[in-house]
Amino acid sequence: MKKVILYIVVGVATFAIGYNVNAVYFSDRSPIQPIAFSHKIHAGDNNIPCMYCHIYADKSTVAGVPNVRKCIGCHKIIKQDAPEIQKLTDYWNRKEPIPWIKVHNLPDYVYFPHKRHVKAGVHCQTCHGDVAKMDVLTRVSSLKMGWCLDCHTNGAVAIIGREVKNGKDCWTCHK
């Protein structure tokens, strides 16, 4: 019996250490946000489409993050009294944007147009993972040059039936 308890204690401790090391080491991949916004609740449990909030993904270089007005549209009624919603209402009353911390951030010398990818039929999930299951948004892709090139050569064949035209040329991504 004692042995079993010891195993459990060691198991839990190992998990706790592993989890924290992960959270610290990969903190840039899942930063703590100013409001505990959950994609699982919104895009998962409540099936709100990605493009309802990220309205520019098929129109522009950036996908965009929704403004406070969009949140308040629902939350002036939904869960008004919850502490995290009160934080939201405070931003709204102060007319301040929510200072979301970027999870993805390519260097300025890289050109990445969302529109071209979304219009070609690449799913958000292919690059961003199963976001609808994430309580805390986590970056799942390396965003390294090799990641882009690999899809422009091998990956694209599965998605659009051919390699991306000029997909390896330096000036396609470095203007």
Rule CB under 6 A: which of 56-75 touch ligand HEC? 57, 62-66, 70-71, 73-75
42 binds ligand HEC (CB under 6 A): yes
Give the per-residue contact string, 71-110, with ligand HEC (x = CB under 6 A; - = no): x-xxx--xx--x-xx--x-----------x-xxxxxx--x
Task: Give the nearest distance from C-beta 21 to ligand HEC in angstroms.
Answer: 22
Please list every residue from 2 through 21 that binds ligand HEC, using CB under 6 A.
Answer: none
- The tokens of 135 are what? 């309580």
Q: Which residues contact 17 (CB under 8 A, 6 or more apart)?
A: none
Q: Which stretch binds ligand HEC (CB under 6 A): 2-10, 15-23, 147-155?
A: 147-155
Place of tokens 């292919």: 126
Exposure string for 105-141, b = 16+ CB within 10 A, e = fewer: eeeeeeeeebeebbeeebebeebbeebbebebbebee
